[in-house]
Chain A
Amino acid sequence: MTTETSTTLSDKPAKSAPEAALVALVGRPNAGKSSLYNRVTGGDGRVGNFPGITVDILETNVELGASHKKARLVDLPGLYSFDAAHDEATDEGVAKAFLLREEATGKPFAVLQVVDATQLALSLRLTKELLGSMSRVGLLLTQSDVLDREGRRCDPSVIAKATGVDVIMVSARDVASREAVLALAQCVLDAPARDKSRAPTFDPEALAQLAVTDKATVEDRERRRREFTRRVDRWLLHPALGPLLFVATMVVLFGAVFLIAEPASSVMDSATGWLGSVLSPRLGGGYFASFVTDGLIGGAGTVLGFLPQIVVLTIAMELLDASGYLARGVFLVDRLLRVFGLGGKALVPLLTAHACAVPAIRATRILRDPRERLVALLVLPLMTCSARLPTYSLLISTFLSHRGAFFQSAVFIALFAAGVISGAIASAVLRRTVVRGKPLPLVLEMPAYRAPEPSFMRKATMRGIRGFLTDVGTTIVIASSVLWLLLNVPMPGATTDPSLKDAPAAVVRVNQSVAASVGRAMEPVTRIAGFDWRINVGLIASFGARELMVGTLGVIHGLEDVENDPTSLREQLRGAKTADGKPRYSTATALSLMTFFIFACQCMSTVAALRRETRSWRWPLFVLAYTYAVAFAAAALVYNIA
């Protein structure tokens, strides 16, 4: 074959013509497939829309050769074996199903297998399997530079002769590889289809031995690279020091997400507040202006407030994964995480969820076992995120101040612990009920340490931001608008409470709102847990964001700006009386409400992120159903015992 054909990446965005050929990159995990894909596409891949596929598959439109023939290049999940990929839920099963489906369409389709030349025999086993099922296959030999430094050489012509397919050597570090890969794709597409019924007869082990020959010397550089990994592993995988270092790294990551969450939200609040104050008079004030500024712009502000966390987390994930350290961390803490029914990798999302569930939900993408990932997604909302803290703080300082600082601190710690323990219990229950199935055995490749490529990390981060804004952001803005309507539009027939005659407009509006009517209608039931209609309205509002509970309770009680001055709200809550003169709220109410907050998935952003990651409404609705059922039952129990 020739590699002289000119190839260019299409400048036009994404939507491909129906006649475009499809080229799939396949290969064993860590064969260098994604690096090569990034080299070919410049890291500009976008998540493809493939019916029935529930994992992200990147695709890019490319033009092959001087004829400018269009094609879509896709990067499939790693695949150890075609024949042994039995479970369709796993990444390997997804890759196999994808290949079989595209092969069956009869449309132009080529499979390019990325073959790690340093593990040639194992890769050729996969080649043999692919040749039994695919009619157009080409091989891309990678890692030949590593092989070279190890004192070995690989001859692609030997492999081409034995397998009967085109084989080229490429390196993801070499810019010219882009041309070579696309030229091979064109070559494979143009060649007549192979007869799949003729099973390949080569022996992978024998062919690998034939194709790879030893050189006289091993280069010092490779020796040093191996020695470096060995030496670093001695420290990073030390039985005592190793787990401490990994947990410390995770705590730093958690700290970064946690510390950035608060200022990011404040900046967004200020920005949206400023924008609202500028726009509101121009829109003539009133309901429409309020809808635009509080509903739409407020929702957009919530979305943008999450972005810094998403950026920090995406960069950290890329760094951990690409450097090879994540695999080491999994090795160290896997046993501990088995207590949760989860594997070592789950530590990253579980810890991140204590800052915010939204980036944590994204972080579950590193979990290879689809069932383990689903369980992690379903229990993450139970972790005590930073948004719960204002409500906990208000309730503890209002109703438990007489118990002293030590007791209050103990309650705070207990609330965090309750999140972790309930997560462990929920995980164990879910694995035995809703998400049954054999867990994948842990056999995880531990690659040599390597430096991640900054440009690919930058592109991956941009991809993460785009995906979050389009998928999660849209849902949040819609939910925010619906909540505004519930909290501001008056219920038909609602009358004004005479006691609110002189109250600010916002207070009157909430008291007459649809949410208030819903809260009152729910009161006979929620009374069991000690919640009156005011708390119910607070709960409805805090579905937008948990921290809104405090502000909404303030507005209902005729107060404004309680975030900056919570003292008046504390006094209002303590001093509030029912019609018969009894205290409206008690310590039991506070404990009940805090219990409710431990379990309930009170967060539209979490629901939106769950929908994005599970690609359906089924699991977010399941999370809402089970967390609210448990939350209400537990709150009722606590209220009646306390």
Chain B
Amino acid sequence: MISAVSHSLASALPRVEVRISALHGDSQEQQWLRAVGFFEGQSICVLRRAPFGGPLHVRVGSGGEFAVDMKVAAHIEIDPSPQTESA
């Protein structure tokens, strides 16, 4: 199991739309994340970070917004090249 990846959602810049390139962590977690809407190829944008190192507020391409724990975000690998600047 890979606990963290070099270009993960946890390190994504705020308000920059990127694309999910892979999921890590155990297979059940991956399966669940895909069902929620975090799957490969999906665009995603970090809107803000919670204080005290708390979760990320993200918007996914399907339109939903989520609070995502940093541990989970570390398992979501992203393509670091930005898609667009988000408003």
- Smallest distance from the beta carbon of A288 to chain B beta carbons, Å? 59
Q: How far is the CB of B74 from chain A (nearest CB, A)?
A: 11
- A446 within 8 Å of B by Cβ? yes
B36 touching A334 by the CB < 8 A rule?
no
Tell me whether A441 and B69 are in contact (CB under 8 A). yes
Instruction: Assess the A446–B67 pair: CB atoms within 8 A.
Output: yes
Stretch at the interface among A236-244, A476-484, A551-559: A236-244
Q: Is the CB of B62 within 8 A of A119?
A: yes
Of A86, A331, A444, the contact of B28 (CB 8 Å cutoff) = A86
Is B82 interfacial (CB-CB < 8 Å)? no
Q: Which of A372-424 contact B (CB under 8 A)?
A: none
A239 contacts B51, CB within 8 Å? yes
Q: Which one of A77-85, A131-139, A518-526 contacts B?
A: A77-85
* Complex Cα gap A395–B28 (Å): 54
Asked if residues A121 and B52 are in contact (CB atoms below 8 Å), the reply is: no
Instruction: Please report the C-alpha to C-alpha distance between residue A304 and residue B24 in the assembled complex, in whole angstroms.
Output: 52
- A444 to B50 CA separation, bound complex (whole angstroms): 13
- A332 partner residues in chain B, CB cutoff 8 A: 50-51, 54
Select one of A84, A333, A447 contacting B31, CB under 8 A: A84
Select the residue from A83, A126, A240, A445 with max chain B CB neighbours within 10 A: A445
Query: Which residues of chain A are within 8 angstroms of B33 by Cβ–Cβ distance?
Result: 443
Docked-complex contact B68 and A243, CB < 8 angstroms? no
Residues 241-257 of chain A, each 1 if its beta carbon lies under 8 Å from chain B, else 0: 01100000000000000
State the CA gap A332–B50 with chains docked (Å).
6
- Residue B35 is within 8 A (CB to CB) of chain A in the complex: yes
Main secondary structure of the interface of B (DSSP, over half): mixed
- A224-235 interface mask toward B, CB cutoff 8 Å, 1 = contact, 0 = none? 000000000100
Q: How far is the CB of A81 from chain B (nearest CB, A)?
A: 3
Whether the pair A335, B67 counts as a contact (CB closer than 8 A) is: no
Q: Is residue B72 contacting chain A, with contact meaning CB distance below 8 A?
A: yes
Does the CB pair A442–B62 fall under 8 Å? Answer: no
Residue of B nearest to A448 (CB): B65
- Asked if B29 contacts A441 (CB within 8 A), the reply is yes
With a cutoff of 8 Å between Cβ atoms, the chain A residues found around residue B38 in the complex are 443
Which chain B residues in 41-76 approach chain A with CB under 8 Å? Answer: 47-55, 57, 62-69, 71-72
Other-chain residue from A81, A121, A126, A330 in contact with B67 (beta carbon distance below 8 A): A330
Instruction: Given A442-B67, A443-B69, A444-B67, answer yes or no on A334-B62 (Cβ-Cβ < 8 Å).
Output: no
Contact B32 A84 (CB under 8 A): yes
Residue among B31, B51, B62 making CB contact with A83, cutoff 8 Å? B31
Give the residues in chain A near B65, CB-CB below 8 Å. Answer: 445-447
User: B17 to chain A: closest CB distance in Å?
Assistant: 16
CB neighbours (8 Å) of A122 from chain B are: 35-37, 62, 64
**Could you list which residues of chain A lie within 8 angstroms of chain B, going by C-beta atoms?**
80-81, 83-84, 86, 118-119, 121-122, 125-126, 233, 237, 239-240, 242-243, 327, 330-336, 441-447
List 26 A-B pairs, Cβ < 8 Å. Answer: A81-B32, A83-B31, A86-B28, A119-B62, A121-B62, A122-B64, A237-B57, A239-B51, A240-B51, A242-B51, A243-B51, A331-B67, A334-B54, A334-B69, A335-B53, A335-B54, A336-B54, A441-B29, A442-B67, A442-B68, A443-B36, A443-B67, A443-B69, A444-B66, A445-B64, A447-B65
